[in-house]
A and B are shown apart, each in its own frame.
Chain A
Amino acid sequence: MQEKKDAMFSYQFPDGDRRLAFSRQSSFRHSHWDPPLPSPSSTPIPLMPRSHSFKPHLARSDSAVGLPLLDNSGHKDATWVALILAPVRGVANGSRPMKRLALMISLNVAYSMVELLLGLFTGRVGLVSDAFHLTFGCGILTFSLFAMGISRKKPDETYTYGYKRLEVLAAFTNALFLLFLSFSLAVEALHAFMQDESEHKHYLIVSAVTNLLVNLLGVWFFRSYARVNIVYWKPEDMNYHSVCLHVLADSIRSAGLILASWFLTLGVENAEVLCLGIVSVAVFMLVLPLFKATGSILLQIAPSNIHPSAFNKCSRQIASLEEVLEVSQARFWELVPGYSIGSLSVQVKKGVHEDRILQHVNGLYNDLGIQDLTVQIDYE
């Protein structure tokens, strides 16, 4: 029995036989309460390789799910200092965009604190409302930052697919916030239209200019994402794009306010309504593609980068095999951009060896871009 277990063990951490897509994973059985073993294969294979363009490959040397090891920085000390320092440490060790985002968030927070205090002490409502607005935005950006930090964790028992989804979720939240923003700007425009009074006073201009500058800095940091339609290769793409759109929308809003007050001084009637309306529509159009893309991932819609006819073709190819009777229940979904998962059920004749079929099916779908496939073979 022991030799059998040893043989199994070496099978689970294979040196050879990595041709088979499905034999690369370590069993849950062996990984929980053993200390993290120095596996023969060099490093724990991450959920997504950190190469910059994750194209579907034919070589199956990347595993689908990383070894569920404990997080290396085992924060077992639950002291308050450690808890507070953890995010700081996380950011300091983080990637460059993370650091930039953290910088921007701190700038924004500082600025909104100043604005809030000023507004409270001098009794100017406009400043207070602006400060609130900024604070909300900062909260959402902090969530994005948090998602960036935590997404590098290895998958564990509860989160068997890892933490990358959080980035998509953060992008969705950002997009949602921007939609709310555009809606509230529209309401404000309507309000100004009905009330017919000019709410702009000069102190708001200073605040708007500062806001614009800070946000333009943010746009500069994330300038490669300053487009409306982007093809997403990795999950971080979505997050960065959403952050960029957020600061872009904020700067458009500030610019709109500045423009409106300038037009007012020029004597243009209803300038405020016009500007706010244009800004609202602009933000809405900016955000819509991102919202749709993140929404469709969260809704488990089939991978968008693969045409539905390709799935059909694969199905037909499999069904045309001699031993295969039927292909059914083929379902596919995207975990994060660039990583798709699927499951299907194949009916085969009795006595057929499953290895060949598994290999064939896996190969077919791997070429399409489905990294993780579970195939259930039913015998007739």
Chain B
Amino acid sequence: MERHNSPALASHSQVIEVNIDIDPDRGTSSFPPISNPSPTSNNKACRGGTCDLSYSKDSPERWDSMRKLVIAVVLCIVFMTVEVIGGIKANSLAILTDAAHLLSDVAAFMISLFSLWAAGWEATPRQSYGFFRIEILGALVSIQMIWLLAGILVYEAIVRLIHDNGEVKGFLMFAVSAFGLVVNIIMALLLGHDHGHGHGHGHDHGHGHGHGHGHGHEHTHDHGHSHGHEHMHGHGHEHEHEDQEHDHDHEANTITTKHHHGHSHNNDMKESLIKKGNKKPKRNINVHSAYLHVLGDSIQSIGVMVGGAVIWYKPEWKIIDLICTLIFSVIVLLTTIKMLRNILEVLMESTPREIDATQLEKGLCAMDGVVAIHELHIWAITVGKVLLACHVTIAPDADADRVLDEVIGYIRRDFNISHVTIQIERQ
């Protein structure tokens, strides 16, 4: 992102050239003040700096999330050292394996922390959209690790099945995984549902969501519902979660009915924007992916606990252990599917779910002077930061400037998309 002033702007007799050194790595992204600030700076073009493509350094949300994650990391490391020492002393492989799982938790937290930190870097010419994408990739790596761990646990269950009695002590398994479960629950509470207040500690006792206690599939749905707002990062814009599912059925009847609603729907949305503005809590995707990791671990701990109890009580019924582990691993995988879908959509540069592209197009076409819209692309840098680019064909006699202003204003107001690039073409 750099600007070049043409010599025509300078009112002096000499030519004033602004040379900006581009350092391909991170270098100068804050621009030297230009001697002749353009008198036309209206808010159509985004002047200077990074215009919202990176967290400002003192964003409270960022610090809050970072603090939570740091506390979680420290706790995790403490517990892990305890387990490692205990495991070496008792010479038990089971305890060491659990310590390894905690290590994976630490890795996931580190990834999230790094993503959060990286999001604060300013955009460079090479990385012109800022560093928000890192959190998406970090979440992807995190989820792959969850899957890997689920596979490893299933493998361990099979190994337990094969190896006959001597090496498996049911009681030990039970105790270790109970300890791991407690640790994970503490961390889930720490990272968990934060309704937009600046809670540093997060010992929110009011949250009787039944974390991890064997609600199995319904637990997934519970989270499914409350995760509806994870898309709404920093937007006041919202659709009800149920509607989301309908919006993106690519069926012709859904599309045509939308067109009947047209203008009136627009008004409704404006009102709902104002009303429900900031009530939806924002959850940071990094904290959320760390939370998912911890949740998955606690579900698996339950599975191992059940298996351990079974083996302890009736050592012959080993197959139940395997079945339990399999079931719980599947449950863990199910919890990750929603986030995986979001990640996939962002990485595929698809239209974000919360933006209704058909309506946007309809609204634009209905504007004065606009003849047609083509090459409309709406995509997201990360969940919540949306960009738009399109070509607008206007009538030959229309005022390009005015139409541009209107279009940008409309998109900003109604859809809260701030990074808009419109190419106006005359017919």
- A176 an interface residue at 8 Å Cβ cutoff? yes
Question: A187 — nearest CB in chain B belongs to which residue?
Answer: B100
A302 partner, pick from B38, B128, B137, B381, beta carbons under 8 A? B128
Q: Are B1 and A343 in contact (CB under 8 A)?
A: no
- Residues of B near A72 (CB, < 8 A) are none
- A299 an interface residue at 8 Å Cβ cutoff? yes
- Residues of A near B421 (CB, < 8 A) are 329, 343-345, 374-376
- A25 an interface residue at 8 Å Cβ cutoff? yes
Q: Are B159 and A125 in contact (CB under 8 A)?
A: yes
Q: Are B350 and A160 in contact (CB under 8 A)?
A: yes
Q: Are B133 and A377 in contact (CB under 8 A)?
A: no
Q: Are B148 and A180 in contact (CB under 8 A)?
A: yes
B424 partner, pick from A29, A316, A354, beta carbons under 8 A? A354
Question: A300 — nearest CB in chain B belongs to which residue?
Answer: B129
B326-347 vs A: 1/0 string, CB under 8 Å?
A: 0000000000000000001101
Q: Are A180 and B144 in contact (CB under 8 A)?
A: yes
Q: Are B374 and A25 in contact (CB under 8 A)?
A: yes
CA distance A65 to B389 in the complex (A): 13
CA distance A77 to B219 in the complex (A): 33
Q: Are A308 and B24 in contact (CB under 8 A)?
A: yes
B6 partner, pick from A159, A312, A326, A354, beta carbons under 8 A? A326
The stretch among B273-281, B285-293, B357-365 that forms the contact with chain A is: B357-365
Distance in Å: Cβ of A339 to nearest Cβ of chain B: 12
Q: Are B377 and A11 in contact (CB under 8 A)?
A: no
Question: B23 — nearest CB in chain A belongs to which residue?
Answer: A308
Question: B145 — nearest CB in chain A belongs to which residue?
Answer: A180
B217-256 vs A: 1/0 string, CB under 8 Å?
A: 0000000000000000000000000000000101010011
Q: Are B125 and A328 in contact (CB under 8 A)?
A: no
- B209 an interface residue at 8 Å Cβ cutoff? no
Question: A168 — nearest CB in chain B belongs to which residue?
Answer: B347
- B168 an interface residue at 8 Å Cβ cutoff? no
B58-77 vs A: 1/0 string, CB under 8 Å?
A: 00000000000000000000
- A286 an interface residue at 8 Å Cβ cutoff? no
Number of A-B contacts (CB under 8 A): 218
- A335 an interface residue at 8 Å Cβ cutoff? yes
- Residues of B near A300 (CB, < 8 A) are 127-129, 133, 381
- B397 an interface residue at 8 Å Cβ cutoff? no
Q: Are A378 and B127 in contact (CB under 8 A)?
A: no
On whether A331 and B129 interact (CB within 8 A), knowing A128-B162, A165-B347, A374-B391, the answer reads yes
A322-353 vs B: 1/0 string, CB under 8 Å?
A: 10111111111101000000011101000000
Number of interface residues of A (CB under 8 A): 81
CA distance A255 to B2 in the complex (A): 52
CA distance A241 to B394 in the complex (A): 45
Q: Are B125 and A320 in contact (CB under 8 A)?
A: no
B contact face: mostly helix, strand, loop, or mixed = mixed
Q: Are A28 and B361 in contact (CB under 8 A)?
A: yes
A contact face: mostly helix, strand, loop, or mixed = mixed
The stretch among B40-48, B199-207, B261-269, B300-308 that forms the contact with chain A is: B40-48
On whether A328 and B6 interact (CB within 8 A), knowing A157-B351, A173-B144, the answer reads no
- A32 an interface residue at 8 Å Cβ cutoff? yes
Distance in Å: Cβ of A78 to nearest Cβ of chain B: 13
B405-427 vs A: 1/0 string, CB under 8 Å?
A: 00000000000000001111111
Q: Are A374 and B158 in contact (CB under 8 A)?
A: no
CA distance A322 to B133 in the complex (A): 38
- What 6 A-B pairs come out closest when comparing CB atoms? A319-B4, A331-B128, A343-B421, A374-B389, A25-B374, A27-B372
- 29 A-B pairs with C-beta separation under 8 A: A28-B376, A29-B372, A33-B256, A120-B158, A125-B162, A161-B348, A161-B349, A161-B379, A163-B348, A173-B144, A180-B144, A298-B136, A299-B137, A301-B127, A326-B6, A328-B2, A330-B2, A332-B128, A333-B128, A345-B45, A372-B375, A374-B423, A375-B423, A376-B422, A376-B423, A377-B400, A378-B45, A378-B401, A378-B404
Residues on A lying within 8 angstroms of B by beta carbon are 8, 11-12, 22-23, 25-30, 32-33, 64-65, 119-120, 123-125, 128-129, 132, 136, 156-161, 163, 165-166, 169, 173, 176-177, 180, 295, 298-302, 308-309, 311-312, 315-316, 318-322, 324-333, 335, 343-345, 347, 354-355, 358, 372, 374-380
Residues on B lying within 8 angstroms of A by beta carbon are 1-9, 22, 24, 38, 40, 44-47, 125-129, 131, 133-134, 136-137, 140-141, 144, 148, 151, 154-155, 158-159, 162-163, 248, 250, 252, 255-256, 344-345, 347-351, 357-358, 361, 365, 371-379, 381, 389-391, 393, 400-401, 404, 421-427
Known pairs A300-B127, A325-B5, A374-B423. 7 more at Cβ < 8 A?
A25-B391, A159-B348, A298-B136, A325-B38, A376-B424, A377-B423, A380-B40
